[in-house]
Amino acid sequence: MKPTNLVIFLLSVLTLTGARAQSPEERLRSLVNVNSGSENHKGVNAIQETYRSWLTDLGFKVDLVANPEGEAKSGKLLLATLAGEDPKYVTFVMHADTVFEPKSAFQLFTKLDATKAMGPGVIDNKGGLVVTYLALKDYLAAQKKPKYSLRIVVSPSEELGSTGFKETFEKISYDSFIVLGVEPAHELGIVHSRKGNVWYEITVKGKEAHAGRHHKDGVNACHILATKVAEIQKLTDYAKEVTTSVGRMEGGQDKFNIVCGEARAKLDVRTPSLDHRMRIMKKIETILKAPEISYKVVDDTAPFKANKASMKYVDLYLQTLKEVEGTTAKAHASGGVGDTNYFSREGIVILDGLGPVGEEIHTENEHILLPSLESRAKVLSAFLKKI
């Protein structure tokens, strides 16, 4: 039965204002039962307030920061810090928003059996919030003062690209010793690299004309765009992990007999390194160089790539995972972009996918393996003690 808006509202109030949940499952339920779709700023801020209370209990100084581009852009960014012996930070990166807005039928935490539960954001990324809290609670109980300073970053709009906060993330990277992304585990393993993306909006201006009487007077924008897209598609090179993809094309009037006067396309480009990124952007922009074509880059996210320094910590984490869980896992490169991309710079150590185990994110079958909440928290805590 689909829950009513009143039921959802009452559950939200109870979970956020009632007695603090004690078990990992109860903590996760309390977060999942509050809708925090990216556009639901009130719900996102409610999650941030709840997480602020959890971190304050652990001794963190917590700030909620409004979007520099205005409150209409997103909810608030959570930034929390705890001083350690070393001023360099271990920076944890997560997000409070989900892809499920209030209009979605997928709203509540549902336990399927003793080991599995489903719900909006249950692993992406509310499970990550719980894993990080549990790991820090365990780690700080064993440390009078942490070796490195600790910083928590929780984006309010990761699913929309964290617009407005990218400069903040870049600045934070420079005093970070290591950046740990607590996105969902990747095929039981972790993520050592993420591709970057460049998004182009392309517009072609043609000239309308009657397709029968005055065909030669027209300039068909759809045809021009199609030929350019065909050239760009040839730049895809799977061996080099470079892809181009047109997500949408549209143009002309909804008529058979009018030469198309304007056409538009949205282009996604994915690259594994900054060198590849520069080369393919140059090729694309050469293809698009024509008086009737204009374009703009609406998103440009750098990749982060495994390096000698980061692989040392990847190996350490995987060794710790095997010790704690008995799980033999691998590190992967991911084609997806996340907030950790915005912390990328030369030589930085970034690990991602340190969150709980589950499947089918961004669908109404999104689910989590509940034991992984505690097991991945123990792995993360043990990893912190080793570094």
Q: Are 40 and 102 in a shared domain? A: yes
Q: What DSSP letter does each residue of 338-386 carry, written as one string? A: -GGGGG--TT--EEB--S--EE-TTSTT-EEETHHHHHHHHHHHHHHHH
Confidence at residue 318, expressed as pLDDT on a 0 to 100 scale: 96
DSSP-H helix ranges across the chain: 5-17, 24-32, 41-57, 126-142, 166-173, 221-233, 274-287, 308-325, 371-386
346: Cα within 13 Å, side-chain hemisphere: 1
Task: Quickly count: other Cβ atoms within 10 Å of residue 170's Cβ.
Answer: 14
Tokens of 303: 């990749």
Q: Are 276 and 318 in a shared domain? A: no
Distances (CA, A) of 264 to 256, 288, 296: 18, 13, 12
At 36-76, the pLDDT tens digits run: 999 999 999 999 999 999 999 999 999 999 999 999 999 99
Q: Considering its fold, how many domains does the chain have in total?
A: 2
Confidence at residue 346, expressed as pLDDT on a 0 to 100 scale: 84
Q: Are 45 and 126 in a shared domain? A: yes
For residue 239, give the CATH number of its domain.
3.30.70.360
**Residue 267 burial (10 A CB sphere; 0-12, 13-18, 19+):** buried
Task: Quickly count: other Cβ atoms within 10 Å of residue 349's Cβ.
Answer: 21
For residue 98, give the CATH number of its domain.
3.40.630.10
Q: Are 114 and 23 in a shared domain? A: yes
Q: Are 75 and 179 in a shared domain? A: yes
**Cα-atom radius of gyration of the chain, to the nearest Å?**
23
Phi, psi (rounded to 5 degrees) for 264: -140, 155
Confidence at residue 347, expressed as pLDDT on a 0 to 100 scale: 85
Mapped onto helix, strand or coil, the DSSP state of residue 309 is: helix
Which residues touch 375 (CB under 8 Å, ≥6 apart)? 324, 325
Q: Are 61 and 86 in a shared domain? A: yes
CB 307 within 8 A of CB 347: yes
Q: Are 312 and 338 in a shared domain? A: yes
Q: Are 68 and 135 in a shared domain? A: yes
Strand order of the β-sheet with 116-118 is 110-111, 116-118, 367-369, 358-359
Q: Are 10 and 122 in a shared domain? A: yes
CB 295 within 8 A of CB 200: yes
Domain boundary among 281, 301, 321: 301
Domain boundary among 254, 275, 301: 301
CB 243 within 8 A of CB 269: yes
Per-residue pLDDT of the chain (387 residues; tens, 9 = 90+): 444 554 444 455 444 444 444 799 999 999 999 999 999 999 999 999 999 999 999 999 999 999 999 999 999 999 999 999 999 999 999 999 999 999 999 999 999 999 999 999 999 999 999 999 999 999 999 988 999 999 999 999 999 989 999 999 999 999 999 999 999 987 778 999 999 999 999 999 999 999 999 999 999 999 999 999 999 999 999 999 999 999 999 999 999 999 999 999 999 999 998 899 999 999 999 999 999 999 999 988 989 989 999 999 999 999 999 999 998 889 998 988 899 999 988 889 999 999 999 999 999 999 999 999 999 999 999 999 999
Q: Are 379 and 259 in a shared domain? A: no
Helix (H) or strand (E) holding 324, with range, is helix 308-325
Alpha carbon distance 139, 278 (integer Å): 42
**HEC sequence for 139-165:** HHHHCCCCCEEEEEEEECCHHHCCCCC
Q: How far is the first Cα of the chain from the last one, in angstroms, to the nearest whole number?
A: 48
Domain boundary among 301, 326, 354: 301
CB 387 within 8 A of CB 313: yes
Confidence at residue 21, expressed as pLDDT on a 0 to 100 scale: 47
Nearest to 377 by CA among 23, 16, 15: 23
**The CA-based dihedral angle spanning residues 164, 268, 305, 318, taken in that order and rounded to the nearest 10 degrees:** 90
Q: Are 171 and 292 in a shared domain? A: no
Confidence at residue 4, expressed as pLDDT on a 0 to 100 scale: 53
Residue type, 163: T
Q: Are 154 and 211 in a shared domain? A: no
Structural domain containing residue 362: 5-194+303-386
What percent helix, strand, coil does the chain show, rounded to 5? 35, 25, 35
| Residue given tokens 């021009």 in the structure block | 224
| Residue given tokens 């393993």 in the structure block | 189
Confidence at residue 20, expressed as pLDDT on a 0 to 100 scale: 47
Confidence at residue 335, expressed as pLDDT on a 0 to 100 scale: 87
Confidence at residue 212, expressed as pLDDT on a 0 to 100 scale: 96
